[in-house]
Homo-oligomer: A and B are copies of this chain.
Amino acid sequence: MKFKIAILGTGNVASHLVPALENAGHTITEIYGRNLEDAEKLTEKVYVAEAVDDLDFSESEAEIFILAVSDAAISDIADEIILPEESILLHTSGTVPLSILGYSSASYTGVFYPLQTFSKGRKIDFEDVPFLLESEDEETLQKLKKLAKSLSPNNYLVKSKDRLALHVAAVFASNFTNHMIRLSEEIMARQGLDFEMIKPLIIESISKSLEIGAKKAQTGPAIRGDFGTLDSHHHFLNYNEQVAELYRLISQDIIDVN
């Protein structure tokens, strides 16, 4: 089943979704950007999409409208957008509840959340991206499943309340692991040490964690209860009070949960 789809937004998610949807055989009818130039730039990635900066879609041929904008912008656009009859309005956020689309002019609403970290200029293989789907309308849900399956074999039905939990879990698993690596990079750079030394350790740690579970995979001074090392590390970090406190608190939590 191929769809005619309008994309609202020109950010990381939109710019990855647009070519992927076209590659999957769907037609991108319009790309909306508050800034028309951004929308025009994104239309260059596909064959036919029209760039627009007006939220009146009453004449659009699209059946599905995907809001790929910042969480804060979702409700404003949902309230303003003028949609044709029988159209489906979706958002792509991990945080915002489905109900935020309830006051829109859409006949049907849903959530189409790709659980992945998108950065501009970095290619994402959508086959590896799980899609988290939600709708209160059964027929819409079936269409969402078909849309998701056209991009990736992994899709899950997840209610708004669970999606919030999932997004919190994703922040720990993605943004916070990345920040731990960032802090590691900075400690090495500050000492003039080559970060390459640490990369094999990171790769093995994460592989082990995903394979046997993070609980069993844990090693290091905190889980060993090696307070001498914890103290010397904490003392080493006293050039940055906040990072020292982070070291203390994470070590404490490792001790407490084990």
Q: A residues bordering B, Cβ < 8 Å? A: 12, 70-72, 95, 115-119, 122, 124, 128-130, 132, 154, 156, 158, 162, 164-188, 190-194, 197-206, 208-210, 212-224, 226, 228-229, 232-233, 236-237, 242-243, 245-247, 249-250, 252-254, 256-257
Task: Identify A119's interface contact among B167, B186, B217, CB under 8 A.
Answer: B217
A201 x B170 contact (CB < 8 A): yes
B128 x A200 contact (CB < 8 A): yes
Shortest Cβ-Cβ A-B pairs, 7 listed: A175-B220, A182-B214, A173-B184, A169-B187, A165-B191, A172-B184, A174-B205
Q: Which residues of B contact A254 (CB under 8 A)?
A: 175, 179
A198 x B214 contact (CB < 8 A): no
Extra contacts besides A169-B188, A206-B206 (9): CB < 8 Å = A115-B198, A156-B197, A167-B233, A168-B236, A171-B247, A175-B205, A179-B250, A182-B209, A246-B253
User: What is the total number of copies of this protein in its complex?
Assistant: 2
Q: Which residues of B contact A214 (CB under 8 A)?
A: 178-179, 181-182, 184-185
A251 to chain B, nearest CB (A): 8
B12 x A219 contact (CB < 8 A): yes
Instruction: Output the residue of A177, A203, A250, A257 with the most chain B CB within 10 A.
Output: A177
A194 x B117 contact (CB < 8 A): no
Task: Identify A202's interface contact among B206, B226, B243, B253, CB under 8 A.
Answer: B206
A191 x B166 contact (CB < 8 A): yes
B119 x A208 contact (CB < 8 A): yes
